[in-house]
Amino acid sequence: MMQIAIVLYPGITALDAVGPYEVLHLMPDAEVRFVGAEPGPVVADSGVLFLGVTHSYAETPAPDIVLVPGSSVATATAMADEELTGWLRRVHETTAWTTSVCSGALILAAAGILEGVPATTHWLVQPMLATLGAEPRPDQRIVRSGRIATAAGVSAGIDLALWLAGEVCGRERAEVIQLMAEYDPRPPFDAGHPSKAAETVREKARAELLQAVADGQDAIAVPQAPWRQAIESFRGHTHS
């Protein structure tokens, strides 16, 4: 049985974790667990959607694959979380693959895992990789360096998971999983990378992402808030 640990923490970007999960749990003999400080719900960066931690760090001392998702609001907090970064350092000693999606690469870097390692992350925070000792590869969607693999922003996590499936299970199984998910992206607009987007689009996206960092801290300030309270808050926003 191959154990795959997807890290969860308050403020996570849901697609960074859920996208890869939908691929990885279809790998043969795979046990996928969502790992965090303690079992229970954590709120995503939307402030409404919850994901569930199934196992604590202590219960997961030697996973075969680790995947660290990013966040639009809580990356810095996760980088400073010594329980998380310490666990990453320990398990990285024995993992077959240590991976990240989006700004999850910054968390790996904060743990000292990307020192001198080529890596990628979300386009907005690419410059931070260099300050943390990594070698940025901003034009690559997936960057492999030995048994470390990093993916660009958010949706790139699905690509990373399919690539991992190919490495672990072979191309045919990865293609079967891809077809089961009908992953055949044909976006209606060609603006998914800064090099393709108009300057006005880039500036608006940058401004909204930076504003999300400021606004999002309030949304995740009480990560164990009752589910009903979160639902009522969501309904209030949608009907206002």
Any catalytic annotation for residue 169?
Answer: no
Cα-Cα-Cα-Cα dihedral sign, residues 97, 8, 216, 83: negative
Secondary structure (3-state) at 32? strand
CA distance 69 to 53: 13
User: What are all long-range contacts of 108-116, with beta carbons under 8 Å and residues at least 24 apart?
Assistant: 108/68, 108/148, 108/150, 109/79, 109/133, 109/134, 110/78, 110/79, 110/80, 110/85, 111/84, 111/85, 111/86, 112/85, 113/88, 113/89, 113/148, 114/148, 114/150
Rounded to the nearest 5°, which phi and psi values hold at 209? -65, -40
Secondary structure (3-state) at 237? helix
Secondary structure (3-state) at 146? coil
Cα-Cα-Cα-Cα dihedral sign, residues 223, 227, 231, 236: negative
CA distance 51 to 33: 12
Q: Shortest CA distance to 38 belongs to which of 231, 225, 230, 224?
A: 224
Q: Give the active site residue among 7, 79, 102, 160.
A: 102
Residues labelled as active-site residues: 102
